[in-house]
Amino acid sequence: MAQTAHPAGFRFGVELELVVKSKTRKHDSFESLVSEVSSHLTAAKVPNHFADRLAKYLENYQEWSIMKETSITTPWQDSMFGLELVSPILLFSQQPHWLSQIRTVWSTVERGFDVQATTQCSTHVHVSPATDPWTLEQVQHVAMAAVYFERCIDAMVPETRRLNDWCKSNRWNGRLKTLSMAQIFHDIQAQPTAKKVAEHMCWCSQGSDTGVTGGARTGFQHYTFRWNLASLNSTKGTIEFRLPPPSANADQAIGWIIFTVSLVHWATQHAGELDPSKPGQLDDLRRSVTQGAELGGLQDLAPVLRLFDGVQPLPEGPMPDLEDISA
């Protein structure tokens, strides 16, 4: 029987990748742009600082940080720069607080800057229990829900995200792709530690693009998967959902936050009830997210339900080999 999450629920952090340009100043460096972004946020009473990505391990995530986003290769011309806004650690149960923060940050940036959400941008959400560490069973259940509903979630995002090497498929990774869903469930539940679950969920083969680029001689664990569990093996201790597309407004960012935390909350308590002999369905995913949101005490479901608007199921089957897809 699934172990119930701590009554305090879950905490999260969100990373918003954007391409921005000042409406009033012409910047010739990223640092100059960041200085203006920071001053706007400070004026809006949002504590923040510029964070060196190379020293990211020093972050304590007590206030908003502004980072250079290296995965955005848009030419830095005409004073446009790719950046990442990283939130502090926020408690999902304190909804008035974090909803206000997200909306304030977004409206502040939009007032002072032209904001673009290009196909190289994305929205990442990190989740962890609010107080106690993850239990092995909770990690196993999140992993099971992630692979079970992967094709349904894929239908909710643009093809550019589904085929992006920065958020590879967990279901079709080098270790799981030859297994049936029932075998995957058994494999996940047989792992003795969260670290081993993470390895199975985030496994790259030696011959993959990531392996070739890194000069790998054997298969290895990597963080660039839809559901990144590799952080469970570090001091960060979060599960990161990397698939969401760039957010074009505050409501979209809020929708993906609610989606991620709610699905994780539902999975920790109910993923053991999933039937691996039947494919995941969009209606079941929507119902699971709704129940997870209710478990978290959420009152307004509109931002997350809008993510399902107009979504059509994708055909079952393996993901295309990323190596066969042109740039």
**What confidence score (pLDDT) does residue 25 get?**
94
Residue partners of 309: CB distance under 8 A and separation at least 6: none
**What confidence score (pLDDT) does residue 273 get?**
97
Q: Are residues 185 and 282 in the same domain?
A: yes
**What confidence score (pLDDT) does residue 316 get?**
83
Distance of alpha carbon 98 from alpha carbon 217, whole angstroms: 44
- Comparing CA positions, the residue from 95, 100, 96 lying closest to residue 46 is 100
Q: Which of these three, 121, 149, 182, is where a domain ends?
A: 121
Counted domains in the chain: 2
Q: Are residues 82 and 142 in the same domain?
A: no
Q: Are residues 77 and 191 in the same domain?
A: no
Buried b (16+ CB within 10 A) or exposed e, 47-58: ebeebeeeeeee
Distance of alpha carbon 320 from alpha carbon 163, whole angstroms: 8
**What confidence score (pLDDT) does residue 3 get?**
42
pLDDT tens for each residue of 129-146: 999 999 999 999 999 999
Q: Are residues 208 and 113 in the same domain?
A: no
Q: Are residues 201 and 260 in the same domain?
A: yes
Residue 17, φ and ψ in degrees, nearest 5: -95, 130
Q: Are residues 117 and 144 in the same domain?
A: no
Q: Are residues 239 and 134 in the same domain?
A: yes
Give the mean model confidence (pLDDT) for residues 114-128.
94
Distance of alpha carbon 68 from alpha carbon 53, whole angstroms: 7
> What is the DSSP code string of 2-15?
PPPPPTT-EEEEEE
Percent of the chain surpassing pLDDT 90 = 78
**What confidence score (pLDDT) does residue 1 get?**
36
Is residue 326 domain-resident? no
pLDDT tens for each residue of 93-109: 999 999 999 999 999 99
Q: Residue 325 pLDDT > 70, yes or no?
A: no
Q: Residue 277 pLDDT > 60, yes or no?
A: yes
**What confidence score (pLDDT) does residue 53 get?**
66
**What confidence score (pLDDT) does residue 208 get?**
82
Residue 181, φ and ψ in degrees, nearest 5: -65, -40
Distance of alpha carbon 127 from alpha carbon 120, whole angstroms: 23
3-class DSSP state of 84? strand
Is residue 316 domain-resident? no
Query: What CATH number does the domain containing 17 carry?
Result: 3.30.70
What pLDDT band is residue 317 in, cutting at 50, 70 and 90? confident
Residues spanned by the domain of 111 = 10-121
- Comparing CA positions, the residue from 149, 98, 96, 97 lying closest to residue 125 is 98
Q: Are residues 52 and 69 in the same domain?
A: yes
Is residue 320 domain-resident? no
Q: Are residues 133 and 157 in the same domain?
A: yes
- Comparing CA positions, the residue from 2, 7, 57, 61 lying closest to residue 297 is 7
Q: To the nearest whole number, what is the mean pLDDT of the chain?
A: 91
Q: Residue 298 pLDDT > 80, yes or no?
A: yes
pLDDT tens for each residue of 39-69: 999 999 999 999 986 666 678 899 999 998 8
Is residue 259 domain-resident? yes
Q: Are residues 139 and 218 in the same domain?
A: yes
Is residue 321 domain-resident? no
Please report how many Cα atoms fall inside a 13 Å half-sphere around the Cα of residue 128, on the Cβ side: 18
- Comparing CA positions, the residue from 194, 207, 52, 64 lying closest to residue 128 is 194
Residue partners of 43: CB distance under 8 A and separation at least 6: 108
Q: Are residues 142 and 107 in the same domain?
A: no
What pLDDT band is residue 319 in, cutting at 50, 70 and 90? low
**What confidence score (pLDDT) does residue 2 get?**
41
Give the mean model confidence (pLDDT) for residues 117-121.
89
Give the mean model confidence (pLDDT) for residues 264-287.
98
What pLDDT band is residue 326 in, cutting at 50, 70 and 90? very low
Q: Please give the helix or strand (H or E) that residue 49 lies within, else none.
A: strand 48-50
Could you tell me the CA-to-CA distances from 296 to 6, 11, 93, 95 in Å, in that order? 11, 11, 6, 9
Is residue 1 domain-resident? no
Is residue 275 domain-resident? yes
Q: Which of these three, 121, 155, 178, is where a domain ends?
A: 121
Q: Residue 117 pLDDT > 80, yes or no?
A: yes
- Comparing CA positions, the residue from 115, 150, 103 lying closest to residue 253 is 103
Give the mean model confidence (pLDDT) for residues 225-240.
91
Q: Residue 283 pLDDT > 60, yes or no?
A: yes
Model-level pTM? 0.93
Q: Between β-strands 123-129 and 113-116, what pairing exists: parallel, antiparallel or unpaired? A: unpaired
Strand partners, 220: 204
Is residue 116 domain-resident? yes
Q: Are residues 159 and 289 in the same domain?
A: yes
**What confidence score (pLDDT) does residue 5 get?**
41
Q: Which of these three, 102, 121, 140, is where a domain ends?
A: 121
**What confidence score (pLDDT) does residue 207 get?**
81
> What is the DSSP code string of 123-181?
EEEEEEESSSPPPHHHHHHHHHHHHHTHHHHHTTS-HHHHT-TTSB-STTSTTTTTS-H
Residue 240, φ and ψ in degrees, nearest 5: -110, 130
Q: Roughly what angle, to the nearest 10 degrees, separates helices 194-201 and 136-148?
A: 20
